[in-house]
Structure 1
């Protein structure tokens, strides 16, 4: 009797292990492939060793002056999640969206003097990493004259596509990636599998051909007035190439390079390069994003692959062992042999 109970228990535990493996692989882990609501991303720093850029500085009389400089650049992006705003979301956004306040600061590498400032508020889908429609989204570029600052006005931009994250389980396909200069999402094409920063990654590339970008009239007038005196009309052309390395399990961007070129083109006169730089993650950024991506990848693979496989193997062993023990615990059933009828004796007749 005890053998049968032990065998049945082991068999039940084996089935339970198999069911738990299936739940981990197909229900629990997939449901956790989302950006944590309490995630605080690390600061990301892009550097260019030798760049050309327009910079506003105060002259001897205290008035702002715009000049073209050559020096190293350091661009820092900091992200501060807005937990309260995310908690107030309703409808399809509730529980599926994070709200991030993003601050960008570009400075000279040699003196630390400010070159550009911008801020954004953006809503991102926790699973795909894409920007989602939200009335509070906004973007503000600091104007060339730092004394004329404007606020980040809700609804002044419609973010779309990928910005700071790719989907969990990134695929070998083309994604739309946001371009801040053009204020639209453009194709980012898959190129190849590569090992980058010690991780298996997918490399994507975005090519933006030369084109005119829209500037506020006062900003364009300031550029023309300072850099091409005598010309009152013109345009700014822009072109860029971005290369991104993505760890596909987590969708983390573990490598980034951007080549950007802008020129002020007056109707009369010679074009002036106002920005030209080859920007990429510095070593500190490579280290921190690589470590976080590796940890996330290991955790997802452990819970989504290795643990379920181990549970299935253990479950099958327990089930087989339980069946064998229960089978041996059965008492053999013996059936008494049928008694053969003895022939009746008859008296011998005299």
Structure 2
């Protein structure tokens, strides 16, 4: 039994660093079997194509659905997510067809499952760069990250702003803004850019963001809160001022329901990683050390008992001693 305890203790002591240095790092992989919906809500303005003008003070909803392409992810070894994003005023909700939405986009994101960096393969759309988008890397650091803004078509630096609790769960907060930037052109009626005498004009599309705020779970990189302030406008060719507002909101943020859902997922994933990387190794070290010490003590006692037993084997009235035939007295002759 003593050798069994000693061996088991040694095994647990070897297992502990393997859990911390081998198993946990391999558990930190972006999942591929995702299927989740996040919802943003806020108020703002948008261009109503029926009224042919910008309407203000409207409720706006952004719905994003992320689905992992498990088959292609398994083949490539990458995390491949198909992302559908729609922007709707109240009158287009619920949208039976995403094409009925005010704005709709379909993207395909391919990332390295370990680093979260983009991998340009497997039908990626659009081409993107940066360190964060739908999630941050594992073990988020307290520094500035480059976040990919699809509307801008470029990365935006998000600076670390301390910790923030979302639904009672603490995460790391990052913020940034986007200055007005030309992002493209589109053909529109001249009157939309204050050129009524021209039937069609190749107007400039401009984009800005009043404020981006993301709160990420430090261990998993999952975003537990997000808020954005998009502004999309049209300008006349070479114009210096916005002529028509297509979309504008100071702040559209995760709903309470989405916040709680993201917090629950982050808490569950983080707890699993902590169990493998911290709790189990610590318990294994303590238990392994205790068993090894106990086994060692029992082995030592067993050897001591064996030694004492060997020393008592020759004792008794017939053993070598002063009354034995080989004692000095027995060799002396008796005198009369």
Q: TM-score range by the shorter chain?
A: 0.7 to 0.9
Q: Does 1:253 align with 2:223?
A: yes
For the residues of structure 2 that align with 1:233 and 1:132, how far apart are their CA atoms?
Answer: 34
Residues 7 and 326, structure 1, Cα contact 8 Å, conserved in 2: yes
Shift in Å, 1:199: 1.6
Could you tell me which residue of structure 2 aligns to residue 20 of structure 1? 15
CA gap of 1:223–1:286, structure 2 versus 1, over 3 A, is farther
Q: Does 1:332 align with 2:307?
A: yes
CA RMSD of the aligned region, Å? 2.8
CA gap of 1:120–1:225, structure 2 versus 1, over 3 A, is farther
CA gap of 1:79–1:207, structure 2 versus 1, over 3 A, is same
Residues 137 and 159, structure 1, Cα contact 8 Å, conserved in 2: no
Residues 183 and 206, structure 2, Cα contact 8 Å, conserved in 1: no
Could you tell me which residue of structure 2 aligns to residue 144 of structure 1? none
Could you tell me which residue of structure 2 aligns to residue 51 of structure 1? 44
Structure 2: 5+ residue stretches without partners: 94-99, 315-319
Residues 128 and 166, structure 1, Cα contact 8 Å, conserved in 2: no
Shift in Å, 1:303: 1.7
Per the alignment, in what secondary structure is the counterpart of residue 36 of structure 1? coil
For the residues of structure 2 that align with 1:338 and 1:226, how far apart are their CA atoms?
Answer: 124
Q: Does 1:195 align with 2:195?
A: no
Structure 1: 5+ residue stretches without partners: 1-5, 58-64, 90-94, 140-156
Which of 202, 206, 214 is 2:183 aligned to? 214
For the residues of structure 2 that align with 1:99 and 1:269, how far apart are their CA atoms?
Answer: 40
Per the alignment, in what secondary structure is the counterpart of residue 49 of structure 2? strand
Which of 42, 64, 83 is 1:77 aligned to? 64
Q: Does 1:99 align with 2:115?
A: no
Shift in Å, 1:36: 2.7
Could you tell me which residue of structure 2 aligns to residue 319 of structure 1? 292
Residues 144 and 160, structure 2, Cα contact 8 Å, conserved in 1: yes
Per the alignment, in what secondary structure is the counterpart of residue 77 of structure 1? strand
Residues 139 and 220, structure 2, Cα contact 8 Å, conserved in 1: yes
Shift in Å, 1:164: 0.4
| TM-score, normalised with respect to structure 2 | 0.82
Could you tell me which residue of structure 2 aligns to residue 143 of structure 1? none
For the residues of structure 2 that align with 1:233 and 1:250, how far apart are their CA atoms?
Answer: 45
Could you tell me which residue of structure 2 aligns to residue 130 of structure 1? 117
Shift in Å, 1:128: 2.4
Which of 26, 33, 39 is 1:31 aligned to? 26
CA gap of 1:270–1:125, structure 2 versus 1, over 3 A, is closer
CA gap of 1:76–1:224, structure 2 versus 1, over 3 A, is farther
For the residues of structure 2 that align with 1:135 and 1:10, how far apart are their CA atoms?
Answer: 52
Which of 7, 10, 34 is 2:2 aligned to? 7
For the residues of structure 1 that align with 2:40 and 2:307, how far apart are their CA atoms?
Answer: 78
CA gap of 1:176–1:20, structure 2 versus 1, over 3 A, is same
Which of 166, 175, 192 is 1:226 aligned to? 192
Could you tell me which residue of structure 2 aligns to residue 182 of structure 1? 152
CA gap of 1:332–1:258, structure 2 versus 1, over 3 A, is same
For the residues of structure 2 that align with 1:309 and 1:338, how far apart are their CA atoms?
Answer: 58
Residues 130 and 165, structure 1, Cα contact 8 Å, conserved in 2: no
Per the alignment, in what secondary structure is the counterpart of residue 26 of structure 1? helix
Q: For 1:52-67, what aligned pairs fall within 5 Å after superposition?
A: 52-57=45-50, 66-67=52-53
Shift in Å, 1:88: 3.6
Which of 142, 161, 182 is 2:131 aligned to? 161
Residues 66 and 227, structure 1, Cα contact 8 Å, conserved in 2: no
The total of aligned residue pairs comes to 307
For the residues of structure 2 that align with 1:338 and 1:306, how far apart are their CA atoms?
Answer: 63
Could you tell me which residue of structure 1 aligns to residue 317 of structure 2? none
Shift in Å, 1:246: 0.2
Shift in Å, 1:87: 3.4
Residues 42 and 78, structure 1, Cα contact 8 Å, conserved in 2: yes
| TM-score, normalised with respect to structure 1 | 0.79
Per the alignment, in what secondary structure is the counterpart of residue 311 of structure 1? helix
Per the alignment, in what secondary structure is the counterpart of residue 43 of structure 1? strand
CA distances 1:175-201 after superposition (whole Å, capped 9, x unpaired): 111111221122222121222222221
